[in-house]
Copies of this chain bind each other. A is one copy, B any other.
């Protein structure tokens, strides 16, 4: 489960307001057995539900299209983690700082050391939720399609189309001086995450 959470760049957070579920993409980072989630929605969400809320956090990695010989057995290869529990808003400044560092590092290792860290004002303006990874489950589908015995005689192509998240060439900020070097972690990014 940790490997899936660490590889996923973002997750979907579900919460319920008066019986209506909402599902929103948010970024996350794991520190040991705690998941930290952050997004522009966090503050709006927290306004409604005060400082604790039942959530479901789901992170899904798509690994491929499973093309079977019958429509019925078409599927996808994927890895997903579902975490249930109560999320708490961080109030302690030191923990908030740790969580924000982890969130930046989760996106790109080493990044937090080269950028300006959060000011006190920015810390106050940022809502981060902490969810203990205690009630969690993982689901993984891998391998070829599983067809009905009789369908193996059909002549259509069957198998898996593997899918990966790949990085294209980094696009420098238009205001960046042309002499600014590209960090090696960024140039190497696609290797780290995209291997099968």
A23-B57, A68-B115, A84-B20 known; A173-B145 Cβ under 8 A:
yes
The secondary structure that dominates the A interface is mixed
Most buried by B among A64, A104, A171: A171
A52 contacts chain B at the CB level, 8 A cutoff: no
- The contact of A69 among B64, B74, B115, B189, by CB within 8 Å, is B115
Give the complex CA separation of A104 and B55 in angstroms.
32
Q: Mark A153-174, 1 if CB is under 8 A from B, else 0.
A: 0111111111111111111111
Count chain A residues whose beta carbon lies closer than 8 angstroms to a beta carbon of B.
Answer: 88
Interface set of A (CB-CB < 8 Å, partner B): 9-10, 12-16, 19-25, 27, 54-58, 60, 62, 64-65, 67-72, 74, 76, 78, 80, 82, 84, 100-101, 103-104, 107-108, 111-112, 114-119, 122, 126, 144-145, 147, 151-152, 154-176, 180-183, 186, 189, 194, 196
